[in-house]
Amino acid sequence: MTTLTPTPQKLAPPGRRRERRAAELEARTRTVAERLGAIAAQPTAHVLKEYGVDRDGLCQSEVLDRQERHGLNTVAQDRAPRWYVQLAKAYANPFIAVLVFLAAVMYWQDPADPGVIILSVMVGISGLLRFWQEFRSGRAADALKQLVTTTTAVQRRAGGGALGTTVEVPMDQVVPGDVVKLGAGDLIPADLRLIGAKDLMVSQASLSGESLPVAKADVRAGEDNRSAAPGGDPVEAGNLCLMGTSVTSGTATGVVVATGADTYFGSMAGSLVGERPQTNFDNGVRKVSFLLIRFMLVMVPVVFAINGITKGDWNEAFLFAIAVAVGLTPEMLPMVVSANLARGAVAMSKKKVVVKRLNAIQNLGAMDVLCTDKTGTLTEDRIVLDRYLDVHGSEDNEVLEYGYLNAHFQTGLRNLMDQAVIDRVNEAEEVVVDARFTMVDEIPFDFARRRMSVVLNRNGLLGGAGRPEHVLITKGAVEEVLSLCTHMKDRGERVELTDQLRWHVTRTAEDNNRQGLRVLAVATRTMPTARDTYTVADESGLTLVGFLAFLDPPKADAAAALRGLADKGIAVKVVTGDNELVAARVCADVGIEVGTVVTGPEADALDDAALRRLAATTTVFAKVNPVQKARIVRALQSDGHTVGFLGDGINDAAALRDADVGISVDTAVDIAKESADIILLEKDLTVLEQGVVQGRTTFGNTIKYIKMTASSNFGNVFSVLVASAFIPFQPMLAIMLLVQNLVYDIAQLATPWDRMDEDYLRKPRNWDAKGIGRFMVTIGPISSIFDIAMFVIMWHVFGANSEANQALFQSGWFIEGLLSQTLIVHMIRTRKIPFIQSRATWPVMVMTVLAVATGLFLPFSPLAATIGFVPVPMGYFPLADRRAAGVLHADAAGEGLVHPPLQHLAVATRHERPRPPVLYDGRPGPFAHRPLRPALPDRFLVPEPVPSGVRPSRRTLSVVLQTRPTRADRDGRRRRPSRTHIPGTRANRRGPW
């Protein structure tokens, strides 16, 4: 008996893990295919002798011996790690490592430091959230696999000379040499060489992607042109049944030639276990994490050095530098990301989607290319009779009638096409047919003839107007049936089938084949009622009636679902193992622009660079094997795309694993479900579109937190850096900085429950570390300008200008910083007008109010002395209010968000008569009632405020605009900022800047 020992012939260079794994998969699959091809070419007797078995099967002792040598009939699978391993992986995050390090340093300095507890709680909750959601999703996916326990019928002998009996055994107990009995509906338990078959039809969609079942028989390779030659594709071998496929009709007996990892299925599965490749999410998080860590590594030493030099207390400077490190670190980032992903997983579970890996939710939102199989996704995964045509290609009910008679009266198991013909005829017509015909004999289907016939008795018409006769009706492959025809039906007339007419009818069939249809021919022969037994020899002198054309119809909602994905910026590419004609037909039916169809062999002939260019412009790939599917996915990824793959077959497993997000269904084979990140409980692109929206919402909320926290923290530390150089005391104590960050971060825990604007959800979103860095260095220093202004106010206005009054200075900056940090959330979360055109959800609003209230309360609370706060005077609050408003406007301007709101606000006031749009200074003074020159472009000019005596709109807003000085200003007169009323918004209080 041959044992499989694959040796990869050509591997990628070490270190290129994914390419190396792909090369191993290709080499192993090729080795198995060559071995199976050799077995297919051997005579049946030779195969039985090689495996040491006869048709009665193995005895129990032989089974035990082979199980010991070959192991269980299972393939390599990616099993979920133990719970404690999953828990440890949940904490494998750069930021968590930073937080743990900072907590350790703080504990080393002062074990009683409350910051240690705060950081520990943040780290603990973050990891537990991620662990619990992934652990629960993994158990849900495992539960799907445990729903069915499969057995198979094998021939076993009790002893050496005993006759074999058929017994049911679990599929994992099958061994090489077992004789397996197959029937309709059975799963193929291992790779089998058929030794007997009758009317056997096998569905190989999970391996080949072809939706129609194929005929199999115990025919040796080379005896007919459809069996695979050695070294060919074993899926195409007519006498091999491969593990993972299933019987749709007929019966068969086969000897097991490979089990477990040695099967064609196992050769693919063996290369799909182990560490998964890095996805878009993994790369994005890593880049953003290290960006923020780099900022921290630069800023912290600078703060430490300046504080140590200016204050002289290096121990205190070190503690403050640690606090700054904590302040720069978005402590809640792991927790907010985990909470975002967990909430997205819960929301998707309500839409019948199981999320196995949380990171896949963001990848789903970032996906801009979806590669999908055809069968069951774009099509209904069932065979229907699409057309019944005469020899000229016109619809003909007589063809349907004869096709129905052939399918209805056959006694064998009907295949899918027979059932499709029967389903096309309504019940009333069936009753009439049953009354007109009775069964006489049947010539069953066999693999060599590729046709089957029934002989019916046409009963005499009621009233004796007709005479009984026998009608032979043959249905089968066009070539075989046509070769037996001498005549054809032409518009009701029986005419001789000349060479020219034969060419004509052959072209009619080929035209339908080119449209992606599976075509069968129907022919008849009328005979006297002299006998009741017929043979294959009677299938001659037939009259061709016409053709039956079948297809797997497109789903009714597939076109709408594809349009929905296109509206979301996702390009759909069909990657199928089915032939190019069928693939092109289905894609055209659902509205996909087909263009040039590229086949697997054509893709194989290209190098990686050429394939990358071809994949960018190709929509449909056909006749592709598992290795080619995965290579196409990698080619798209190398071109900068975030790629999703939707598939349910064995041949999809490699591509599912290599894609940024692998998507499968609950009815898929186990290896596909294990390779997938997301499992759809319904194979529906509409469900997938909803998942895309959820993924973008999740990602958007995560980016909100990163932008808000990173920019605010960087601004605070920048302010500390400036203050440390000029103020003789620390502008804020380390514990204050930690408490401020904690209050702010707790408020941001509501971010996962926020909504995203529709505009944001319309296109894929990706991590942009450089963009976040630009945002930080733009918004942070802008807010620092106002921090410095507050320093000046606290120093000069409130007298907090000595170490004795440093608590007042620190308390004032704490309140102002927390207010501006919390409120700016509502500016950054949308590109529309906050609170008017885009409102945050109620959890975000509630947390904002609580954070503001906490910041105002703490300096007056019993905890004030513990933290180092003192009450601030009441005159402080109007200034803090104005300063916070200034930060909001400045930060919005820095982000480029001021202009769109002003454009939206520039609408006509409901005056009694129209007025020209001018800017109007409504404040008293030398420049009152004079049009002003704004610094903004003219397109942002707004209408003049409502004059006295005219009832204005209930909502107006006063917006302070910087203006350019006029000649009078340059002559020495100071100019006040103008106050411009913009109709349509709520009025603001008057007061100083």
Q: Which tokens sit at 944?
A: 């003049």
Helix (H) / strand (E) element for 264: namely helix 264-269
DSSP state of 681: S
Residues near 950 by beta carbon (within 8 Å), at least 6 away in sequence: 911, 912
Tokens 């997205």: give the residue. Answer: 344
Q: Strand, helix or coil at 878?
A: helix
Measure Cα distances from 596 to 253, 602, 620, 628, 636 in Å.
42, 12, 7, 17, 17
Phi first, then psi, for residue 438 (nearest 5°) are: -135, 155
Please give the angle made by the CA atoms of 192, 195 and 199, to the nearest 5 degrees. Answer: 95
393 conformational bin, left if phi > 0, alpha if psi -120 to 50, beta if neither = left
CB-count exposure of residue 503 (10 Å: 0-12, 13-18, 19+)? exposed
- List CB contacts of 818: < 8 A, sequence separation 6 or more: 740, 743, 744, 851, 852, 854, 855
Kindly tell me the burial class for residue 780, based on how many C-beta atoms sit within 10 Å of its own C-beta (0-12, 13-18, 19 or more): buried
- One DSSP character per residue, 490-508 reads ETTEEEE--HHHHHHHHHH
Cβ atoms 518, 215 nearer than 8 A: no
Nearest to 363 by CA among 773, 688, 667: 688
Task: Give counts: helices (H), strands (E), the chain.
Answer: 34, 26
Among residues 483, 481, 431, 494, which one has the least CA distance to residue 452? 481
Helix (H) or strand (E) holding 305: helix 280-311
Alpha carbon distance 808, 8 (integer Å): 73
Long-range Cβ pairs for the range 465-471 (8 Å, 24+): 468/529, 469/526, 469/527, 469/528, 469/529, 470/440, 470/526, 470/527, 470/528, 470/529, 471/405, 471/437, 471/524, 471/525, 471/526, 471/527
| CB contact at 8 A, 779 and 895 | yes
User: Environment class of residue 989 by beta-carbon count within 10 Å: exposed (0-12), middle (13-18) or buried (19+)?
Assistant: exposed
Q: Three-class SS of residue 482?
A: helix
CB-CB contact of 382 with 371 (8 Å): no
CA 312 to each of CA 168, 278, 307, 321: distance values in angstroms, whole numbers, following the listed order: 85, 48, 7, 14
Burial label for 139, CB within 10 Å (0-12, 13-18, 19+), is exposed
Kindly give the pairing relationship between strand 369-372 and strand 643-646: parallel
C-alpha 806/C-alpha 799 separation (Å) is 10
Residue in the structure block whose two tokens are 């994949």 = 615
- Provide the angle, in degrees to the nearest 10, between the axes of the packed helices 806-823 and 876-895: 40
SS3 of residue 521 by DSSP: strand
Indicate which residue of 113, 368, 373, 418 is catalytic. Answer: 373
Contact 414, 199 (CB under 8 A): no
- Distance CA(366)–CA(692), nearest Å, equals 8
Q: 472 with 524: CB under 8 angstroms?
A: yes
| Nearest in space to 658 (alpha carbons), one of 26, 33, 190 | 26
Q: Check if 172 is active-site.
A: no
Taking CB atoms within 8 Å and a gap of at least 24, the contacts of 561-565 are 561/684, 561/685, 561/686, 561/688, 561/689, 562/590, 562/591, 562/592, 562/685, 563/591, 564/685, 564/686, 564/689, 565/370, 565/685, 565/688, 565/689, 565/692
**Which residues are designated catalytic?**
373
